[in-house]
Amino acid sequence: MEADAVQDFRRRLKYFFMNPCEKYRARGRRPWKLALQIVKIVLISAQLVSFGLSNEMVVTFTEENLMTLRHLFLKGYEDQRQRSYAVYTKADVYEHIGHVVSRYVHLPKLTLGNLDYERLDGAQAPLLVCQVLYSNSSIDPENETFHLDPHVDTDCISINPPHSIHNDSLLSELSLDFRRLLSVNIYLSLKTINLQTVRHHELPDCYDFHIMIVFDNRAHSGRIKVSVESNVRIYQCRNWDVEGSSEENDYMLVSFDAGVIVACFVSLVLCTRSVISGVRLQFEFHAFFLTHYHKSVTWSERMEFVNGWCILIIVSDTLTIAGSALKIGIQTKFLTNYDVCSILLGTATMLVWVGVIRYLGFFKKYNILILTLRAALPNVVRFCCCAAMIYLGYCFCGWIVLGPYHDKFRTLGKVTACLFSLINGDDMYGTFLKMRDKSYVVWLFSRLYLYSYICFFIYLVLSLFIALITDTYETIKHHQPDKSPVSQLQVFMGESGDQPESEGFQGDGEPASCCLPSCCSG
């Protein structure tokens, strides 16, 4: 009887680690839960495409309006990618501030778009011109003396759009102390409507653009940088009427998103149940080995019962449910968190498609990729940790030494991006060429620095990284078919010669530990 109990438990373990095809041959279980995963992939991908098209229109509309505002309010502005917009004289500062005010007062007559003023309590919102400056400070470079109070004061004047104002009157109201001045901030609010969504059977959204034009003088270098910053709020228009349109399309999209949530929730419950059942079977296997063989099961053998693909699906389903709920809020105009929704849905879709590799692993010829990644991952992680220490050393060194002389090393973020690009051979000559030769010592150091980094990381680190994966791949490719089980769990299950079609798996009922969904077992 004890031998029969051992054999039955061995079959339960073997059945637990079968894939859906083997379970179908063993007990005739149709892989309908596997079909659920396939349908879910299609639904999530379609949902992402639908949201991506809507998000693309929102981003395009916002960026083009911001570009329009730059051309409207910045005098002589041209589309510049590398050079920043700046002024250099006091007269230019007053002239540009006056230009902003004049354009704002006459905005409805100038703009080609649907821009108009925001209203507060029935009146048009005023334009605010605020100067931010040090309080109670005196600076005299000629005598090399200064008295500085680090506290900051803000002084604002308000300008109402209906009343035109000339530059002369503005200059009389606004007096700037450039030696104490930190910045001049101009605040204005505009409204517009995104009509292009009508062509895609979506209701237009209303937009609030809260604009801040900043004259930045914090460096006190004689160069005041001018920038336009925008905070956009999207909401449902108060009163709308589109001929020939109905709310049927909105209901269909909301119903589709609700269907995705239901499918992901079912998948989440099934995979959670699978993980719980695997943990229970793991404890049972540990107790069984202690009782019958007086051996303890290692932690790595216990982790074999925790299906990583199930965890992946659980995370993906959770992100999809949260992203779909947020998308419904956006669709019904209650929410406007496009960025958060994009992150949730994009990450969920990525994980779903990565999970497809698991089903390709059912075929031996495709399974070699999964086996290679699983076997090489520990060595790759250890190798990357060692290489990261050297990489960070080069980053800090390049930032502090080359930063004042090279644009690509000006900030720590730029250094990390530049050095990572050099590993792949991107823009290598340009990095050498743009090094300023004001200091011969620094110029010579930059050559030694870049040559040593490129030689070390491209010829040594990158080659060793590729060699780790290649060696693992060759090992699995040539020896995996003849490889014998190495863990106690694999040895224990291998002692059973029962195949999925054998009578040992053709019982009337399934074991308690085998109630796992076919989509998550394996």
User: Cα(136)–Cα(143) distance, rounded to whole angstroms?
Assistant: 18
Q: Which of 307, 341, 362 is the last residue of a domain?
A: 362
Q: Is the pLDDT of residue 509 over 60?
A: no
Residue 389's pLDDT is 93
* pLDDT value of residue 60: 86
Whether residues 254 and 339 fall in one domain: yes
Tokens of 338: 């496009």
3-state SS class at 215:
strand
Q: What is the per-residue DSSP string for 57-81?
A: HHHHHHHHHHHHHHHHHSTT----S
For residue 158, what pLDDT is reported?
A: 83
Q: What is the mean pLDDT of the chain?
A: 78
Chain segment 347-372, per-residue pLDDT in tens: 999 998 888 777 776 666 667 777 78
Strands 152-159 and 145-147: unpaired
Q: What is the DSSP string of 226-288?
A: EEEEEEEEEEE-SS---TT--THHHHHHHHHHHHHHHHHHHHHHHHHHHHHHHHHHHHHHHHH
**By mean pLDDT, which of 61-70, 200-209, 210-219 is the weakest?**
200-209
pLDDT over 90 at 262, yes or no: yes
Residue 287 CA to residue 277 CA, distance in Å, equals 15
Please tell me what DSSP assigns to residue 504.
Answer: G
Residues 91, 198 within the same domain? yes
Does residue 316 surpass a pLDDT of 60?
Answer: yes
Q: Are 249 and 229 in contact (CB under 8 A)?
A: no
Q: What mean pLDDT is predicted for residues 129-134?
A: 89
Q: Give the chain's radius of gyration (CA, Å).
A: 33
Query: Which of 209, 236, 263 is the last residue before a domain boundary?
Result: 236
Band the pLDDT of 104: cuts 50, 70, 90. Answer: confident
| Pair (358, 374) in one structural domain | no
**Mean pLDDT for the stretch of residues 18-43:** 74
Residue at 520 is within a domain: no
104 and 226 both lie in a single domain:
yes
pLDDT at 470: 87
Q: Are strands 127-134 and 181-194 parallel, antiparallel or unpaired?
A: antiparallel
State percent of the chain over pLDDT 70.
77
Q: Which amino acid is at 126?
A: P
Residue 293 DSSP label: T
pLDDT over 90, % of the chain? 12
More confident call, 314 vs 123: 314
Residue 519 lies in a domain: no
pLDDT at 185: 92
Q: How many CA atoms lie within 13 A of 434 on its CB side?
A: 15
* pTM of the entire predicted model: 0.69
488 pLDDT band, cuts 50/70/90, is: low
Q: Is 176 inside a domain boundary?
A: yes
Long-range contacts of 340-344 (CB under 8 A, 24+ apart): 341/51, 341/55, 342/51, 342/55, 344/319, 344/320
Where does residue 95 rank: exposed (0-12), middle (13-18), buried (19+ CB within 10 A)?
A: middle
Q: Per residue in 445-468, pLDDT tens?
A: 888 998 899 889 888 888 898 888
Task: Give the chain's length.
Answer: 522
Q: Which residue has the tokens 């010669």?
A: 497
* pLDDT (0 to 100) of residue 484: 45
Is residue 13 included in any domain, yes or no?
no
pLDDT at 4: 64
pLDDT at residue 278, as a whole number? 82
Q: In which band, very low, low, confident or very high, does the pLDDT at 514 lie, cut at 50, 70 and 90?
A: very low
pLDDT greater at residue 506 or residue 212 = 212
pLDDT digits (tens, 9 = 90+) for 175-208: 888 888 889 999 988 888 888 776 666 777 788 8
Please report the DSSP string for 41-55 in residue order: HHHHHHHHHHHHHHH
Model confidence pLDDT, tens digit, residues 398-420: 999 888 888 888 889 999 999 98
Same domain? 192 vs 156: yes
Q: Give, for 426, the enclosing helix (H) or strand (E).
A: none
Q: Which amino acid is it at 34?
A: L
Number of domains composing the chain: 3
Do residues 227 and 97 both lie within one domain? yes
Does residue 35 fall inside a structural domain? Answer: yes
The residue ranking higher by pLDDT, 3 or 48, is: 48
Does 268 have pLDDT greater than 50? yes
Residue 104 class from Cβ within 10 Å (0-12 exposed, 13-18 middle, 19+ buried)? buried
Task: Confirm whether 15 is domain-assigned.
Answer: no
Is the pLDDT at 396 greater than 90? The verdict is yes
**Which amino acid does the sequence have at 35?**
A
**pLDDT value at position 20?**
66
429: which 2 tokens?
């000559």
303 and 348, same domain (yes or no): yes
Confidence of residue 515 (pLDDT cuts 50, 70, 90): very low
Q: Please determine, for residue 157, whether its predicted confidence score (pLDDT) is greater than 60.
A: yes
Residues 144 and 213 placed together within one structural domain of the fold: yes
The β-bridge partners of 174 are none
Alpha carbon of 160 to those of 93, 165, 190: distances in Å?
A: 21, 9, 13
What three-state secondary structure class fits 351? helix
Give the N- to C-terminal CA distance of the chain in Å, as an integer: 29
Residue 318: the pLDDT is 93
User: SS3 for 411?
Assistant: coil
**CA-based max dimension of the chain:** 105
> Which pLDDT score is estimated for 500?
56
Residue 393 has pLDDT above 90, yes or no: yes
- What are the residues facing 236 on neighbouring strands? 205
User: Quick one: 353 and 393 in the same domain?
Assistant: no
CA 358 to chain centre: 24
The pLDDT value recorded for residue 31 is 67
Nearest by Cα to 408 from 455, 454, 450: 450
CB atoms within 10 A of CB 252: 11
Which of 304, 339, 362 corresponds to the end of one domain?
362
Are 90 and 206 contained in the same domain?
yes
- Nearest residue to 336 via CA among 233, 441, 470, 186: 233
pLDDT of residue 519: 39
Q: Answer whether residue 12 is part of any domain.
A: no
Beta bridge partners of residue 189, listed in sequence order: 210
What is the model's pLDDT at position 390? 92
Q: Are residues 311 and 199 in the same domain?
A: no
Confidence check: pLDDT of 91 > 70? yes
Q: Yes or no: say if 308 and 370 are a contact pair by the CB < 8 Å rule.
A: no
The answer to whether 333 and 236 have CB atoms below 8 angstroms apart is yes
Q: Which two tokens stand for residue 40?
A: 């879910």
Query: Is there a single domain that holds both residue 79 and residue 153?
Result: yes
Contact, 165 vs 159, CB < 8 A? yes
Give me the domain span that covers residue 453: 368-484
pLDDT for res 177: 81
**Domain-embedded: residue 493:** no
Helix axes 338-360, 308-331, angle to 10 degrees: 150
